[in-house]
Structure 1
Amino acid sequence: MRVMAPILAILLLLGCSQQNDRSSAPGPEQIVRLSDSELKGLDPQKISDLSSLRIASDQFEGLTRLNARGKAEPGLAKAWETSPDGLRWTFELHGGLKFSDGTPFDAALFPEIFLRMRAPGTASPTANLFTNISGIKAISDNRLIVSLASPAPHLPALLAHPALAAIPLHRINNAGDTWTNDRPMITSGAYRLVDWRLNDHARMERNPNWHEDPAPTDTIIWKPMDDSLSAMRLVLAGGADVSADYPDSRHRWLKENHPGLAHSVPYLGSYYFAFNIRKPPFDDSRVRIALSMAVEREWIADKVIGIGNMPAWGLLPPGLAGDIDYKPDWVDWPREKRLQAAGELLADAGYGTKHPLKFEIRFNSSAEHRRVSVALAAMWQPLGVQTSLFNSEAALHFSALRDHDFTLARSGWIGDFPAAENFLSVHQTANGTGNYSGYDNADFDALLAQAIASADPFERQTLMRRAEAMMMADMPVLPLYYYVTRSLVGKRIAGWEDNISNVHPSYTLRIKTQ
Structure 2
Amino acid sequence: MMVKVSCARPARLVRHISLATAFGLATAFLGLTPAEAAKTTLSLGMTVEPTGLDPTIAAPVAIGQVTWQNVFEGLVRIDESGKVQPQLAKSWQISPDGLTYTFKLQTGVSFHDGEAFDSAAAKFALDRARGADSVNPQKRFFASIASIDTPDPETLILHLSEPTGSLLYWLGWPASVMVAPNSAADDKTKPVGTGPFKFVNWAKGDKVEFEKNATYWNKAVSPKLDKVTFRFIADPQAQAAALKSGDVDAIPEFGAPELMSSFTDDAKLVTKIGNTELKVVAGMNNAAKPFSDKRVRQALMMAIDRKTVVDGAWSGLGTPIGSHYTPNDPGYIDLTDKLPYDPEKAKALLAEAGYPDGFTFTIKSPQMAYAPRSAQVMQAMLAEIGVTMNIEPTEFPAKWVQDVMKDRNYEMTIVAHAEPMDIDIYARDPYYFNYKNPAFNALMKKVQETTDPAAQAKIYGEAQTILAEDVPALYLFVMPKLGVWDRKLKGLWENEPIPSNVLSGVSWEE
Write the mapping of 1:199-238 to structure 2, written as runs, cut at 5 A: 199-213=206-220, 215-229=222-236, 230-238=238-246
Q: Which residue of 1 aligns with 2:261?
A: 253
**Alignment partner for residue 293 of structure 1, among 294, 302, 306?**
302
Write the mapping of 1:295-444 to structure 2, written as runs, cut at 5 A: 295-306=304-315, 308-329=317-338, 331=340, 338-351=342-355, 355-366=356-367, 368-383=370-385, 385-394=386-395, 399-401=402-404, 403=407, 405-407=409-411, 409-412=412-415, 414-416=417-419, 418-419=420-421, 422-424=422-424, 426-428=425-427, 431-432=429-430, 434-436=431-433, 438-444=434-440
- The question of whether the paired residues in 1 share the 8 Å contact of 2:490 and 2:506 is answered with yes
The Cα RMSD (Å) is 3.5
Q: Deviations over 1:57-96 (max 9, x none)?
A: 3123222123344543111222222223333222222343
Letter in 1 for 2:246: G
Q: Which residue of 2 aligns with 1:510?
A: 507
Q: Deviations over 1:347-406 (max 9, x none)?
A: 43445xxx41122241325354333233223324444x1314131423555655465554
Q: Which residue of 1 aligns with 2:196?
A: 190
Q: Which residue of 2 aligns with 1:32?
A: 43
Mark the CA change 1:346 to 1:493 in structure 2 (over 3 Å): closer, same or farther. same
Distance between the aligned counterparts of 1:56 and 1:343, measured in 2? 47
Distance between the aligned counterparts of 2:131 and 2:446, measured in 1? 30
Q: TM-score w.r.t. structure 1 length?
A: 0.78
**Alignment partner for residue 138 of structure 1, among 150, 157, 180?**
150
Q: Structure 1 stretches of 5 or more lacking a match?
A: 1-23
> Is 2:122 aligned against 1:110?
yes
- The question of whether the paired residues in 1 share the 8 Å contact of 2:443 and 2:463 is answered with yes
- The question of whether the paired residues in 1 share the 8 Å contact of 2:69 and 2:195 is answered with yes
- The question of whether the paired residues in 2 share the 8 Å contact of 1:35 and 1:224 is answered with yes
How far is the alpha carbon of 1:286 from its aligned partner? 2.7
How far is the alpha carbon of 1:112 from its aligned partner? 2.5
How far is the alpha carbon of 1:290 from its aligned partner? 2.6
How far is the alpha carbon of 1:40 from its aligned partner? 4.7
Q: Deviations over 1:164-216 (max 9, x none)?
A: 444444x54xxx8569999xx86422222345555444131133241323524
- The question of whether the paired residues in 1 share the 8 Å contact of 2:74 and 2:173 is answered with yes
Write the mapping of 1:462-477 to structure 2, written as runs, cut at 5 A: 462-477=458-473
Q: TM-score w.r.t. structure 2 length?
A: 0.79
Distance between the aligned counterparts of 1:382 and 1:121, measured in 2? 49
- The question of whether the paired residues in 1 share the 8 Å contact of 2:77 and 2:84 is answered with yes
Give SS of 1:58's match: coil
Write the mapping of 1:85-96 to structure 2, written as runs, cut at 5 A: 85-96=97-108
Q: Structure 2 stretches of 5 or more lacking a match?
A: 1-34
Q: Which residue of 2 aligns with 1:4?
A: none
How far is the alpha carbon of 1:288 from its aligned partner? 2.5
Give SS of 2:228's match: strand
Mark the CA change 1:76 to 1:369 in structure 2 (over 3 Å): closer, same or farther. closer
Distance between the aligned counterparts of 1:463 and 1:452, measured in 2? 10
Write the mapping of 1:453-464 to structure 2, written as runs, cut at 5 A: 453-464=449-460
> Is 2:470 aligned against 1:496?
no
Distance between the aligned counterparts of 1:93 and 1:189, measured in 2? 15
Mark the CA change 1:120 to 1:258 in structure 2 (over 3 Å): closer, same or farther. farther
Residue identity (%): 21
How far is the alpha carbon of 1:458 from its aligned partner? 2.1
Give SS of 2:414's match: strand
Is the helix fraction higher in 1 or 2? Answer: 1
Mark the CA change 1:309 to 1:95 in structure 2 (over 3 Å): closer, same or farther. same
> Is 2:496 aligned against 1:484?
no
Distance between the aligned counterparts of 2:338 and 2:442, measured in 1? 25
Distance between the aligned counterparts of 1:27 and 1:120, measured in 2? 50
Distance between the aligned counterparts of 2:165 and 2:235, measured in 1? 36
